[in-house]
Amino acid sequence: MSGTTAVRMTGVVKRFGPVVANAGAELEVATGEIHALVGENGAGKSTLMRVLAGMYGPDAGSVEVAIGGGALRDVTGWSTRDAIDAGVGMVHQHFMLVPTLTVAENLILGRELRRGFSLDLTAAEREVRALTEHTGLKVDPARLVSDLSVGEAQRVEILKTLYRGAKILILDEPTAVLSPPEVVELWKVLRRLRDDGGTVILITHKLDEVIEISETITVMRAGRTVGRMKTTDSTPRTIAKMMVGREVSLAIDGVAVGREAGSGKREAGAADSEQRAAALRSSRLPLPTLRVENLTVASSRKPNEVDNVSFTVARGEILGIAGVEGNGQTELIEAITGLRAASSGTISIADASGALHDVTTRDVRTRADSGLSHIPEDRHRRGLVLEYSVADNLILGQQHRFAGAAGVLDHARVAANAASRIKTFDIRPPDESLPSRALSGGNQQKIVIAREMGRDFTVLIAAQPTRGVDVGAIEFIHDQLRRARDDGKAILLVSADLVEILALSDLVTVMYGGRMVVTLPGSDATTEILGPYMTGAHGTAA
Amino acid sequence: MTTASIDSAASDRRQRWRTHIEESILPPLVALVIAAVVGDILIIIFGQSPGEVYRQLLEGTWGNAYGFGQVIYKATTLTFTGLAVALGIRAGLFNIGAESQLASGGFLAALVGLAMPASTPTVIAILVCMIAAALGGGVVGAIPGALKARFGASEVIVTIMLNFIVLALLNYIVAAHIHVAETLHTPEIRVGALPRLAAISATFSGSAANTTFLLALAVAAAAWWYLFRTRPGYELRAVGLQPEAAEYGGVRVGAVWARTMMLSGAIAGLGGLNYVLGYKHYYEEGFGTGSGFLGIAVALVGRNHPVGVVIAALLFATLSQGGLAVNALVPKQMVDVLTAVVIIAVATAVPEVRRALAASRRREAGTRNRENGNRESGVGNRPAEVGHVEIANPGPSSQFPIPTSRP
């Protein structure tokens, strides 16, 4: 199979209004390989792949695809339908499934099997089962999509694409929502697809993934293709340099190398910070600043979303919660922040003097006012009002502090707040009146970070703080979290990215099935130790 | 865009302002042109000359004092109902109940007016009636708001059903208890008549236009101020755009719904003053029939912006009055058809024109070739969202969104 070309994209230009997403991008993918398309957020990777999948027509350039293993044919500007028919399928970052239908129903949507006038669901489920066994993508076809975890939903997305006969599979940042064991599973599936003669294009900005899974790498920067190489000829450092366009700092490299080795080594910047933290801790008693006792959040289907969880976070401490998504982390955070009612248990937050106050029955605003900051896991859904300007989003949750007695917003103060936050947190472009929708993912996240960390707080809940942001922003955000910890803040870090947890946390815990199944000092924790707990292999004995 | 200077930021802002104006003005204009073409065809079918019909339509409305006054009178009620609907939509609520809120406001104002002794000072009588009108509409609006906030009941269903209930109830009360013999209206109110505009300026002579129109303009200004300058307005719009983000921001979404529906109802209720205190001085069954529903169209065409609502109200009032003016040439129902065509054209043309605008802007931008960092598709990233389609070019989004989906 090798030697033939499956996809060739030449000089692709794609603009969105004033934004040039692709400015002459090139891509060549061989048949039967796993090809990594890497670049920082905003480099134009997703756009290029959407052009390939027929979602966007390019403004210039050509797209050629070898359909059915034949010779390359010019397919520039084809439709999604054409692309699917030709065996090109894309799995998106944001899932496109109907939550009220079952897995099987979602898969057959658009090409329903019929028996007479009615749907033949039994046959559909049989087909789906055969496909899951063949590919190793395990998921029960009879379950409702709304009941699936994010990882399972992603499997369904991949299955859907394969069910439609995809031979060229495009995956847009598939591991952003997966735990390490799930990632390993995904790699197995992708390798099997490749061995069956399929071609896989993987969009990512995680260097360890690139090294581990791909055979060929194409690097994009600012809408252009800046390099193409064999994976065996490259190192994380050379790729990172090509991605960013400059020599990258040690901290980023630390992440990359740490991930590559799979050992979850601490980032380089951490050593110095650790000393400061140690000094801080020895000078004061560990003060519990966030205390959660016997917290339970009931569920309509499972035993409990959060099942009798107790912990404290002291000032100057980061407690990292690892775990596969859908094991109660979201519910735990929402219960702490007041977005969801707890069935039982208490939540207390310390004020500036260190005295704990029970906030269990308080609303979101009262909790925020008593020093609770919250970086939500989903900035598009909760963290930002996308239509609102950067300035308006920078006061979300504190709007009452920017209003006078009559409830009139003080525009001068809103603008001054925006100007100072934009400067301090380096939000780009530095224009407070821009709708937040128009900013890149990394800069959108900086708006959230700036708002939540720019104000007075004692406790910070940081949920997936670096999800979908680029390497430079990750470095920046991690730095902010360390600095806040060193300033004596209590930080509860929830992340699906185990490397992030290991790099930042003083104390690491794993959530599985709504419980905290293991808690370790950060210095003792490794991927190898925590991995089995994340999959429930160690049982649920707390 | 690492080297964004202050200059380029300022020019960006100018560019966005231009975009904003284009997106607000052009689409409705195109819709009007489409409606005019359809109107031409209809007029020709009736064997008349379009030019003549339009001339008469304009002459019979903006061309003479009575016609103009009638346009203003009709626009007054439509401004209130349009604002009521627009306010709701801004908070993500679809108030179909302006019809009954308007009637209820007018009824309560009349009832209170009748109860006051004839010696009541005019200013006090007017104020009391205003409060009564707002209360009458507000209570009817508050019911669906509270039911939605408390039980999650769809405000669409509840407001539709309340239209039946409230109108039936009011008709019963009037018919059974307080009507003047041989009529379907209450006795005349002896206090607090709002002065006709004709008494102030000859421009309106002979028409029903009255000072309620000034109140409508004031309420529109207040609605704008409330929406865009106050904290409750900030929270209201956040609830309408992204209820979950609003909730995260410490906003009690249910409370905003309840408050907004009450306000919406109160604004519609104030519209009742136009007829009751400004024109006939009594409540009559069916005085505002259709104005509540037309308010939905007014909000749609006015793009849920108070200024847009006032303009759209004038437009629909012109068509309504114009129908009477051209009745000699073509059936006045033709103008009803035209009204509907305007609404459909707006609903259809607005997205289409915006797409075309975005495309032309893209061509323009090609020459400037500004690199502006990444634009992540801003469409919400709820996992497993139904019909989640990435929009090819969201463009700098307008400040006047027309909700395309209901929560």
DSSP state of A514: T
- Asked if B373 lies within 8 A of A42 by C-beta distance, the reply is yes
B383 to chain A: nearest residue by CA?
A95
- A vs B, Cβ pairs < 8 A, gives 201
Q: What was the pLDDT predicted at B249?
A: 96
Residue A540 lies in a domain: no
Contact between A77 and B392 under an 8 Å Cβ cutoff? The reply is no
Partners of B370 on chain A (C-beta within 8 Å) are 18-20
- Contact criterion met (CB < 8 Å) for A431 and B374: no
**Mean pLDDT in residue range B312-324:** 92
Question: Distance (Å, rounded) from C-alpha A418 to C-alpha A398?
Answer: 13
> Which amino acid makes up residue A196?
D
- Taking CA atoms, what residue in B is nearest to A144? B384
Same domain, A412 and A358: yes
Residues of B in contact with A146 (CB under 8 A): 384
Å between A409 CA and nearest CA of chain B = 5
Across the interface, of B250, B366, B370, the residue whose CB is closest to A364 is: B250
CATH number of the domain where residue A293 is located: 3.40.50.300
Unique residue bearing structure tokens 């519209």? B271
Is A264 part of any domain? no
Q: Contact, A503 vs A478, CB < 8 A?
A: yes
Q: Which of A336, A396, A410, A445 to mutate to test the interface with B (most CBs of B within 10 A)?
A: A396
Give, as one character, the DSSP assignment of residue A31.
Answer: T
A253 assigned to some structural domain: no
What letter represents residue B24's amino acid? S
Q: Which residues of B touch A422 (CB under 8 A)?
A: none
Is B295 in contact with B264 (CB distance < 8 Å)?
Answer: no
Taking CB atoms and an 8 Å cutoff, what residues of chain A touch B396? 17, 435, 438
Give me the pLDDT at residue A265, please. 39
Contact A387 B241 (CB under 8 A): yes
CA contacts within 13 A on the Cβ side of B147: 15
Residue in B53, B30, B27 with CA at minimum distance from that of residue B40: B53
The beta-carbon neighbor of B380 closest among A363, A381, A439 is A381
Task: Tell me the shortest Cα–Cα distance from A232 to chain B, in angstroms.
Answer: 30
Residue of higher predicted confidence among A386 and B23 = A386
Predicted TM-score (pTM) of the model is 0.76
Say yes or no: A182 and A146 in one domain: no
pLDDT tens readout for residues A150-162: 778 888 888 888 8
- The tokens for B94 are 């679809």
- DSSP string of A146-169, one letter each residue: GGS-HHHHHHHHHHHHHHTT-SEE
| Predicted confidence (pLDDT) per residue in B153-199, tens digit | 999 999 999 999 999 999 999 999 888 888 888 889 888 788 888 88
Structure tokens at A158: 């991949």
| Cβ <8 Å between A403 and B252 | no
Per-residue pLDDT of chain A (542 residues; tens, 9 = 90+): 446 899 999 999 998 766 788 999 999 999 999 999 998 767 888 889 999 999 899 999 999 999 877 788 999 989 888 898 899 999 887 778 888 888 888 888 766 666 666 777 788 888 888 888 887 788 888 889 888 877 788 888 888 888 888 899 999 888 876 767 778 888 988 999 899 889 999 998 778 888 889 999 999 988 899 999 999 998 888 887 888 776 654 343 334 333 333 333 344 445 555 555 555 544 445 678 999 999 999 976 567 889 999 999 999 999 999 987 778 999 999 999 999 999 999 999 998 788 899 999 999 999 999 999 999 998 889 999 999 999 999 999 999 999 988 899 999 999 999 999 999 998 988 889 989 988 888 889 999 999 999 999 999 999 999 887 777 788 889 999 999 999 999 999 999 888 899 999 999 999 988 999 999 999 889 888 887 788 776 654 44
Count how many residues are written for chain B: 407
Residue A93 falls within a domain, yes or no? no
**Across the interface, do B248 and A374 touch by the CB < 8 Å criterion?**
yes
Dist. CA B259–CA B145, nearest whole Å: 7
| CA–CA min distance B143, chain A (Å) | 24
B179 part of a folded domain? yes
In a domain, residue B215? The reply is: yes
Mean pLDDT of B394-407: 37
- Structure confidence at residue B181 (pLDDT): 84
Whether B354 is covered by a domain: the verdict is: no
Residue of A nearest to B375 (CA): A440
The verdict on a CB contact (< 8 Å) between A16 and B230 is no
Give the range of the structural domain holding residue B192, as residue numbers without chain letter: 84-302
The secondary structure element, H or E, covering residue A62 is strand A60-66
Is residue A11 helix, strand or coil?
strand
Beta bridge pairs of residue A171: A91, A202
Distance between CA atoms of residues A105 and A112, nearest Å: 8
Cβ contact, residue pair B376, A41, below 8 Å = yes
Of the partner residues A384, A387, A397, the one whose CB lies closest to the CB of residue B401: A387
Chain A contact for B407, CB < 8 A?
no
* E strand segments, A124-215: 168-172, 199-204
Alpha carbons B304 and B345: distance in angstroms, whole number: 17
Is residue A405 one of the residues assigned to a domain?
yes
User: Is B168 part of a structural domain of the chain?
Assistant: yes
Judge: B1–A407 Cβ closer than 8 Å, yes or no.
no
Q: Nearest Cβ partner of B384 from A59, A95, A402?
A: A95
Q: How far is A100 from chain B, CA to nearest CA, in Å? A: 9
Q: What is the 3-state secondary structure (H, E, C) of B61-111?
A: CCCCHHHHHHHHHHHHHHHHHHHHHHHHHHCCCCCCCHHHHHHHHHHHHHH
Residue B389, pLDDT above cutoff 70: no
ipTM of this predicted structure: 0.80
C-alpha to C-alpha distances, A375 to A229, A448, A453, A464, B375, nearest whole angstrom: 38, 6, 9, 8, 21
Helix axes A527-534, A180-195, angle to 10 degrees: 80
The residue to which tokens 């009450």 are assigned: B262
Residue B406 has pLDDT above 80, yes or no: no
Q: Does B395 touch chain A (CB under 8 A)?
A: yes
In a domain, A403, yes or no: yes
Whether the Cβ atoms of residue B106 and residue B287 lie closer than 8 Å to each other: yes
Q: Which among A194, A217, A248 is the end of a domain?
A: A248
Inter-chain touch A17–B358, beta carbons under 8 Å: yes
Check whether residue A286 and residue A419 sit in a common domain.
yes
Residue B344, token pair as written in the block? 């459909």
CA–CA distance, A155 with A150 (Å, rounded to integer): 9
Handedness of CA B125, B129, B130, B135 (dihedral sign): positive
Domain endpoint, select from A187, A214, A248: A248
Q: What is the pLDDT of residue A416?
A: 96
Is A258 inside any structural domain? no
If we measure between CA atoms, which residue out of A257, A279, A178, A177 comes closest to residue A211?
A: A257
The answer to whether the Cβ–Cβ distance between A98 and B384 falls below 8 Å is yes
Determine which of B227, B259, B372 to mutate to test the interface with A (most A C-beta atoms within 10 Å): B372
Does residue B123 fall inside a structural domain? Answer: yes
Mean pLDDT of chain B: 84
Question: Is residue B27 in a domain?
Answer: no
Residues of B in Cβ contact (< 8 Å) with A41: 374, 376
**Chain B contacts of A364, Cβ < 8 Å?**
247-250
A88-to-A78, A165, A170, A319 alpha-carbon distances in Å: 11, 8, 8, 43
Please indicate, yes or no, whether residues A319 and A227 belong to a single structural domain of this protein: no
By Cβ distance, the residue of A23, A42, A400 closest to B374 is A42
Q: Is the pLDDT at B375 greater than 70, yes or no?
A: no
Note the pLDDT of residue B6: 54
Q: Are residues A396 and A485 in the same domain?
A: yes
Beta bridge partners of A322: A510
Q: Chain B: nearest CA to A223, how far in angstroms? A: 9
- Is A43's CB within 8 Å of B374's CB? yes
Distance CA A136, CA B319 (A): 65
* Judgement on whether residues A291 and A211 belong to the same structural domain of the protein: no
B127-131, B177-181, B309-313 — which is least confidently predicted?
Answer: B177-181
pLDDT, tens digit, 9 for 90 and up, residues B231-265: 999 999 999 999 999 999 999 999 999 999 999 99
Q: Kindly tell me if the per-residue pLDDT of B2 is higher than 60.
A: no
Domain end position, chosen among A113, A140, A165: A165
User: Cα Rg for chain A, rounded, in angstroms?
Assistant: 24
Q: Are residues A368 and B229, on separate chains, in Cβ contact within 8 Å?
A: no
pLDDT at B196: 86
* Residue A408 to residue B394, Cβ atoms within 8 A: no
Number of domain units in chain B: 1
- Closest CB to A382: pick one of B248, B358, B376: B248
Q: Are residues A160 and A172 part of one domain? A: no
Question: Which residues, numbered 239 to 258 in chain B, qualify as contacts with chain A under a Cβ-Cβ cut-off of 8 Å?
Answer: 241-242, 244-250, 252
Confirm whether A330 is domain-assigned.
yes
Smallest Cα distance from B265 to chain A, Å: 22
- Within this chain, do residues A347 and A221 fall inside the same structural domain, yes or no? no
Q: Which residues of A touch B386 (CB under 8 A)?
A: 98-99
Q: What is the phi/psi pair of residue A120, to 5°? A: -95, 85
The per-residue DSSP string of B291-319 comes to HHHHHHHHHHHTTT-HHHHHHHHHHHHHH
- Full residue range of the structural domain in which residue A131 is found: 98-165
* Among B residues 219-238, those touching chain A with beta carbons less than 8 Å apart: 229-232, 234-235, 237-238
Residue partners of A477: CB distance under 8 A and separation at least 6:
A445, A446, A449, A465, A466, A469
For residue A132, what pLDDT is reported? 84
Round the CA-based radius of gyration of chain B to a whole number and report it.
23
Q: Domain tally for chain A?
A: 3
In a domain, residue B345? The reply is no
